[in-house]
Amino acid sequence: MKKFLYFFVSLVMITSILPFSALADDLTVIAFGDSITAADKWQKYIEAEYGIDIINAGVGGDTTNSAKVRFKKDVLNKKPDIVFISLGVNDCAIDMSRYVDLETYKANMAYFIDECEKAGAKVIVNMPTPVVDEQYLTRHKKEPFEPYGC
């Protein structure tokens, strides 16, 4: 099931890249995100299926605020043709000092997208993965989440 899910997500994401597949050797593709990106799993499916090398610019624990600090160096300076942006799960970590409110999250994401597009890159935004309470709360204290129904 997990492999199917990775394949399905990869297939959905790659549909916007298909016109570029013939130029794969000339493309600079960057995956910019948090630990889900850093794990390098979904990128491997795309690389294997379409022969596209993807630069992994994922950093575990990143929020849109902390990723913004490294955005120019890790993304824009590499002059990408395509940028996958996968951020958001850590932004909503209510129990952590790195929490990013929704308006700031939206502004940060708009900044990333706008700057990539200004640089001539096609942007593919990967939606944040859902949080499964039972697993998440084995690593984090439950008390801060109780007012929100967790």
pLDDT tens digit sequence for 1-55: 555 445 555 555 555 555 555 456 689 999 999 998 999 888 998 899 888 899 9
pTM greater than 0.85: no
What percentage of residues in the chain have a pLDDT greater than 70? 71
CB 58 within 8 A of CB 43: no
CB 57 within 8 A of CB 31: yes
Q: Residue type at 147?
A: P
Per-residue tokens: 127: 């939606």
Per-residue tokens: 68: 């913004």
pLDDT tens digit sequence for 44-72: 988 998 888 999 999 998 999 999 999 99
Which residues touch 125 (CB under 8 Å, ≥6 apart)? 84, 85, 86, 109, 113
Residue 68 CA to residue 43 CA, distance in Å, equals 22
